[in-house]
Structure 1
Amino acid sequence: MGTRRRAYRHSSDGHHPAALLREVARLGSMSAAARALKVSQPTLSVAVRQLEESLGATLLLRHRGGVSLTAGGAELLRHAEEVFAALERATAAVAGLERDLVGSYVLGCNESLGAYFLPRFLPGFLREAPQIALTLHNANSDDVLRAVVEREIPFGLVVNPTSHPDLVILRLCRDAVDLFVAAPPDAPVPAGAALYGPAGCFTADLAVAAALLRDRPLIVAGRVHQCTWLIDQLAEHDMVPRRLLSCGDFELVKSLALAGVGPAILPRRIAAYHHEGRLRRLHAELPIFPDDISLIYRADMPKTRAAMFIKDALVRCGQQMPDVGVP
């Protein structure tokens, strides 16, 4: 084993033995190869001799006109050229990752957040960076954060991330989990952030809101912490819903609310996308839970051009999200 390892050891000047052999074969002269490689001829001779000893084969024929490859030397050089070519391709590919908009990346995304964020983000991104292969990984925010920390994915779009010493957390926009109910089809729709003010609410009468919570089921995503907090807040206001209809995710909650099944707890952005004004805040004085929508990535993530392009595009998209009236 010791002699075989020596065959692949670089010479004292930093050249790989196969590279030395290639130069000798190209020039047909030990002295000419030594000058081209900027090494002494004895150093070159020792390196070639050690390579021959480690392989147990004669690689060069020495004659009055110089040197030439034996059959064994030619075979070794053929394989070495394949290795050199592969190394050149790898070097070019790595340089391309640093310089060009190329590469493969995974974007983790909270499921419900992705439903309104990704349709705004992807068309422009795919048009501007056609050579970046982007794969989507959908999970809840805690799982996306864990996957970024453990280097399983490079980027994550999450809600209310917990701080971590290895993470960069960039807040993109704000949201709020709120109480909504389907509005009558002919109800006028206030513009922009006014939709979330008193004028945009379903009712200005708190007693009417309380009666609606008593008489119809409150639709919630039962596994979401914000929903549990809001239900506790309703109890403190003596507005305990008579019935809870618990669903697995916000998308089903939204569909049932739009169908008029009952009031629902939803993030404002989820309530609005594709159906702005169809779902209205139940009452302006009812509690809300503010949310931060953030981009996360590891601080030590390689800052290739493509990675920085993805980061900047995500930040830009988040900062351009419509206002949902959260202070």
Structure 2
Amino acid sequence: MLPSPTEIEYFLEISKTLNLSRASERLGITQPTLSMSVKRLEQNIGTKLLIRSKSGVQLTKFGQRFVGSAQNMLQEWEKLRAIALSEKNEVQGQYVIGSHPSVALYSLAHFLPQLLHDYPKLHIELAHDISRHITEKVISHKIDFGIVINPIAHPDLVIIKLASDQVTFWTTKKNRNPHTLICDQNLLQTQDLSKKIRNHDDWNFERIVHCSDLQVITDLVGHGCGVGIIPTRVAKKGKNLVVYGEDPPVFEDVVTLIYRYDAHDSLAAKTIIESIKKVFV
């Protein structure tokens, strides 16, 4: 078990005075409390630090050696405390923000430039993956904040709804392949919409082009390659896309901000959270 900073501080005071009574007075504690602290420190280290006598105390050979190490340990502890207090009260430090690349395109540019400009000591790393993987990495402390779609509730997560979105069918007025559907067949949204159109003749696509990148789907649809299943917020970043058909089926998405409830009480973390929330107000 590692010694506590308090135990080290008490020991160093004894090493200066070589008198338990005087050391306890200077520390503002009782002599029995000081003696118990030294005893715990000796037990943790596994050897004696003091030799007690009627005239006071003397340091053992190891006690003399330990003084220098204890001073270094206490200095390092004070440095760590200063860093912790600074990060808690100033907007600084390193944080990782994760999102799907498509979500990043309609969110990051609306808060990150100003955030980096206002806080030069703040360092941001971006991570991109599907929302499910981003959520897993937030839970496992690998990512600090996630802007994710439809996360599953977890006891360690704070989930804040930022906005709604609708996934539906998109095309262009110059679509040369109206019977071709372009989509990511692995997405829950695609699977749900495919079931909804299965028994409708007006929605009978002769072929399906599987594509795992929503930006590529958006670009292909914009160039007349077919009809795409795309989130509305992503489709609006494309060129000349329009909703396909009359009253097409939709899948309701929820855009959320997630982070661990136990990990972000610093001023920097609170500032990042508020900056992200303002994008979707």
The two structures have a TM-score, normalised by structure 2, of 0.81
- Within 1, Cα distance between the matches of 2:233 and 2:219? 14
- Of 243, 246, 271, 1:281 maps to 243
Closer, same or farther: CA 298–42 of 1 in aligned 2, 3 Å: closer
Residue of structure 2 equivalent to 1:301: 263
Secondary structure (helix, strand or coil) at the match of 1:241 reads: coil
- Of 210, 222, 246, 1:258 maps to 222
Aligned residues: 278
Is residue 133 of structure 2 the alignment partner of residue 143 of structure 1? Answer: yes
Contact conserved, 2:48 with 2:60, CA < 8 A, in 1? no
Secondary structure (helix, strand or coil) at the match of 1:36 reads: helix
Q: State the shift of 1:81 in Å.
A: 0.8
- Of 79, 100, 104, 2:69 maps to 79
- Within 2, Cα distance between the matches of 1:262 and 1:43? 79
Closer, same or farther: CA 73–257 of 1 in aligned 2, 3 Å: same
Q: State the shift of 1:57 in Å.
A: 7.2
Secondary structure (helix, strand or coil) at the match of 1:236 reads: coil
Residue of structure 1 equivalent to 2:209: 245
Closer, same or farther: CA 60–89 of 1 in aligned 2, 3 Å: farther
Alignment of 1:226-245 (within 5 A): 226-238=189-201, 239-245=203-209
Is residue 181 of structure 2 the alignment partner of residue 218 of structure 1? Answer: yes
Paired amino acid for 2:229: I
- Within 2, Cα distance between the matches of 1:310 and 1:29? 51
Structure 1 window deviating more from structure 2 (252-261 vs 150-159): it is 150-159
Alignment of 1:126-165 (within 5 A): 126-165=116-155
- Of 258, 277, 280, 1:315 maps to 277
Alignment of 1:26-45 (within 5 A): 26-27=16-17, 31-39=21-29
Secondary structure (helix, strand or coil) at the match of 1:152 reads: coil
- Within 2, Cα distance between the matches of 1:135 and 1:290? 30
Q: Deviations over 1:193-237 (max 9, x none)?
A: xxxxxxxxx9xxxxxxxx9633xx221122222223223333332
- Within 2, Cα distance between the matches of 1:160 and 1:85? 47
Structure 2 unpaired stretches of 5+ = none
Closer, same or farther: CA 220–304 of 1 in aligned 2, 3 Å: same
Contact conserved, 1:147 with 1:153, CA < 8 A, in 2? yes
- Within 1, Cα distance between the matches of 2:156 and 2:49? 53
Q: State the shift of 1:25 in Å.
A: 4.3
Closer, same or farther: CA 120–34 of 1 in aligned 2, 3 Å: closer
Closer, same or farther: CA 75–234 of 1 in aligned 2, 3 Å: same
Contact conserved, 2:50 with 2:58, CA < 8 A, in 1? no
Q: State the shift of 1:308 in Å.
A: 1.5
- Within 2, Cα distance between the matches of 1:140 and 1:258? 23
Q: State the shift of 1:161 in Å.
A: 2.2
Secondary structure (helix, strand or coil) at the match of 2:171 reads: strand
Alignment of 1:189-208 (within 5 A): none
Secondary structure (helix, strand or coil) at the match of 2:111 reads: helix
Closer, same or farther: CA 285–37 of 1 in aligned 2, 3 Å: closer
Instruction: Flag the structure with larger Rg.
Output: 1
Q: Deviations over 1:23-51 (max 9, x none)?
A: 24445765543421235668768977995
Paired amino acid for 2:243: R
Paired amino acid for 1:220: C
- Of 223, 231, 238, 1:267 maps to 231
Alignment of 1:92-103 (within 5 A): 92-103=82-93
Q: State the shift of 1:74 in Å.
A: 4.6
Secondary structure (helix, strand or coil) at the match of 2:178 reads: helix
Q: Deviations over 1:58-106 (max 9, x none)?
A: 779998xx98878765532211110110111111122223222123222
- Within 1, Cα distance between the matches of 2:280 and 2:32? 65
Residue of structure 1 equivalent to 2:164: 174
The two structures have a TM-score, normalised by structure 1, of 0.71
Q: State the shift of 1:241 in Å.
A: 0.6
Paired amino acid for 2:208: L
Residue of structure 2 equivalent to 1:324: none
